[in-house]
């Protein structure tokens, strides 16, 4: 009887742990990603995108202030001029700044595995949108660098088994490697 209740308790703990382990993957709202198609369509078809851009004021303003990229005015001009290539280039710069922002946050939270992992996984969503603008070699290098970033945040293991502590030095090196690949954007 004791073995049976112990087995049931372990089964419940394992099931609850799995539910929590996958909770970080919830996509959440990413206004810059969600607005991408609308902005590119507006640029290609000459539509008014002022409402879409107004909805991105907070995100773009933050990136301009903290990551020293100019985005809002040039993006409005590119869309108005029906310049799809310039619109795409500016969105890539915004995504690069978002990757930098998320990885800086992950670096500051290396002691909190869940938070660091969420930030790295979210940065991957932005990287996936930038990859088509890179050469094949740079795509592989960027993916490899992000994989190193993810590895460097460590892993709590399962009930502590297989736990790996975060490696701040490896994290910083991999982050720098990724940002170097993305620098031309």
pLDDT number for residue 18: 35
- Over residues 67-79, the pLDDT tens digits come to 999 999 999 999 9
pTM of the model: 0.82
User: Among candidates 151, 18, 152, 40, which has minimal Cα distance to 95?
Assistant: 40
DSSP-derived secondary structure for the chain: -HHHHHHHHHHHHHHHHHHHHTGGG-----HHHHTHHHHHHHHHHT---HHHHHHTHHHHHHHHHHH----HHHHHHHHHTT-HHHHHHHHHHHHHHHHHHHHHHHHHTTT-HHHHHHHHHHHHHHHHHHGGGS-HHHHHHHHHHHHHHHHHT-B--BTTBT-B---HHHHHHHHHHHHHHHTT-
Taking the CA atoms of 101, 107, 111 and 114 in sequence, report the sign of the dihedral they define.
positive
Res 56: pLDDT: 96
Residues in the chain with pLDDT < 50? 1, 3, 6-26
What is the tens place of the pLDDT at every residue in 143-155? 999 999 999 999 9
pLDDT at 4: 53
What is residue 29's predicted lDDT score, i.e. its pLDDT?
A: 86
Q: Given this model, what pLDDT does residue 74 score?
A: 97
């Amino acid at each position: 009887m004791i073995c049976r209740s112990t087995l049931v308790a372990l089964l419940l703990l394992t099931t609850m742990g799995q539910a929590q382990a996958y909770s970080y993957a919830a996509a959440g709202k990413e206004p810059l990603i969600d607005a991408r198609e609308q902005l590119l369509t507006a640029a290609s078809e000459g539509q008014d995108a002022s409402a879409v851009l107004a909805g991105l004021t907070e995100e773009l303003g933050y990136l301009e202030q903290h990551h020293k990229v100019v985005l809002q005015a040039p993006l409005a001009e590119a869309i108005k001029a029906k310049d799809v290539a310039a619109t795409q280039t500016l969105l890539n710069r915004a995504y690069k700044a978002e990757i930098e922002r998320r990885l800086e946050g992950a670096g500051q939270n290396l002691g909190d595995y869940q938070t660091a992992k969420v930030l790295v996984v979210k940065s991957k969503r932005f990287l996936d949108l930038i990859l088509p603008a890179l050469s094949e070699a740079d795509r592989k290098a960027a993916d490899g660098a992000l994989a190193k970033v993810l590895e460097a945040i460590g892993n709590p293991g399962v009930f502590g088994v297989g736990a790996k502590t975060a490696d701040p030095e490896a994290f910083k090196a991999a982050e720098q490697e990724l940002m170097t690949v993305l620098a031309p954007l």
